[in-house]
């Protein structure tokens, strides 16, 4: 079952989720355990990342014991490409924290053998003990990560062709829509569902329709976010606009 939590605005949602992450890191590091976080890119998690940076700077929250696995990366884009997710994560989160570089994993958009790279990514995640908490946004077509429709419940980290709507929605970041890669590497639905907790954030009326579908439709590959209904500890953090159709 998916829990929904309504917040007065995206800043207060970001504060609530950042506080959960901080509590988790503190509890686990007290007993000498790392915290394994699954992270997303896009505009939705930006206030959350700003709040985590604030907690680090102003409240001394340390990320030294944190391991991160990002959901996805554009095929063909390397770390120095300003639209790569690696670049995004460095600019908006990692460079502002004390997380060791060796603790950060993001699928490599330049991997020569994508299938092998994706299998290694799954293995690294397993070796790390699995995800303690996964942050998600949601695409207007119901994608989570870049699990475009149709994505099966048992899908794993793999190469995927991006949907036309996703390429249109993300065109703003590239200036010229012809520059958007055709493909991406993404964690699978099964990979995401194995996270012990899932916190999905959705803000603004552009997400209202898909949020209602994700919560109310019978789970199927047609709307991959519906698979989250099978997760035992998944919360949708919404502002009033995103919750409009509930």
Q: What share of the chain is helix, strand, coil (3-state, %, to 5)?
A: 40, 20, 40
* Residue with the CB atom nearest ligand F6R in the bound state: 137
**For this structure, is 80 an active site residue?**
no
**For this structure, is 141 an active site residue?**
yes
Q: Strands across the sheet with 198-202, in order?
A: 2-6, 234-238, 198-202, 133-136, 35-39, 66-70, 104-105
Instruction: Name the minimum Å distance from CB 30 to ligand F6R.
Output: 30
| DSSP letter string, 124-170 | HHHHTT--SEEEE---TTS-BTTBPSS--TT--SEEEEPPHHHHHHT
Catalytic residue among 7, 56, 117, 143: 143
Cβ(210)–Cβ(244) under 8 Å? no
Place of tokens 């994700």: 214
**For this structure, is 113 an active site residue?**
no
Catalytic residue among 70, 103, 141, 147: 141
Q: Which residue ranges make up the site for ligand F6R (CB under 6 A)?
A: 40-44, 71-72, 137-139, 143-146
Catalytic residue among 148, 194, 199, 239: 148
Instruction: Name the minimum Å distance from CB 132 to ligand F6R.
Output: 18
Is the CB of 67 or the CB of 142 nearer to ligand F6R?
142
Is the CB of 11 or the CB of 29 nearer to ligand F6R?
11
Is the CB of 43 or the CB of 57 nearer to ligand F6R?
43
Query: Nearest Cα to 85, choosing from 71, 64, 100, 66?
Result: 71
Is the CB of 34 or the CB of 204 nearer to ligand F6R?
204
Cβ(225)–Cβ(210) under 8 Å? yes
Angle, helix 46-59 to helix 10-30, in steps of 10 degrees: 50
Catalytic residue among 51, 56, 70, 72: 72
**For this structure, is 117 an active site residue?**
no
Instruction: Name the minimum Å distance from CB 183 to ligand F6R.
Output: 14
Q: Please identify every residue annotated as catalytic.
A: 72, 141, 143, 148
């Amino acid at each position: 079952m998916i829990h929904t939590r309504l917040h007065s605005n995206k800043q207060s949602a970001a504060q609530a989720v950042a506080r959960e992450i901080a509590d988790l890191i503190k509890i686990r590091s007290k007993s000498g355990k790392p915290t394994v976080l699954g992270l997303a890119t896009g505009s939705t998690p930006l206030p959350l990342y700003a709040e985590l940076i604030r907690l680090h700077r102003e409240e001394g929250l340390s990320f030294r014991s944190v391991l991160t696995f990002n959901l996805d990366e554009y095929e063909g884009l390397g770390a120095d490409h300003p639209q790569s997710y690696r670049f995004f994560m460095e600019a908006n989160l990692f460079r502002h924290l004390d997380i060791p570089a060796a603790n950060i994993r993001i699928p490599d958009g330049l991997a020569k053998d994508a299938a092998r790279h994706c299998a290694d990514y799954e293995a690294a995640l397993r070796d790390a003990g699995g995800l303690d908490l996964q942050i998600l946004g949601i695409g207007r077509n119901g994608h989570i990560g870049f699990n475009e429709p149709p994505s099966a419940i048992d899908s794993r980290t793999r190469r995927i062709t991006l949907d036309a709507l996703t390429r249109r929605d993300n065109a703003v970041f590239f200036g010229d829509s012809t520059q958007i890669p055709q493909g991406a590497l993404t964690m699978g639905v099964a990979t995401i569902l194995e996270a012990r907790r899932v916190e999905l954030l959705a803000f603004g009326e552009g997400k209202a329709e898909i949020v209602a579908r994700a919560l109310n439709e019978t789970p199927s590959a047609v709307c991959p976010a519906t698979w989250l209904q099978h997760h035992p500890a998944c919360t949708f953090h919404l502002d009033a606009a995103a919750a409009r159709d509930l």
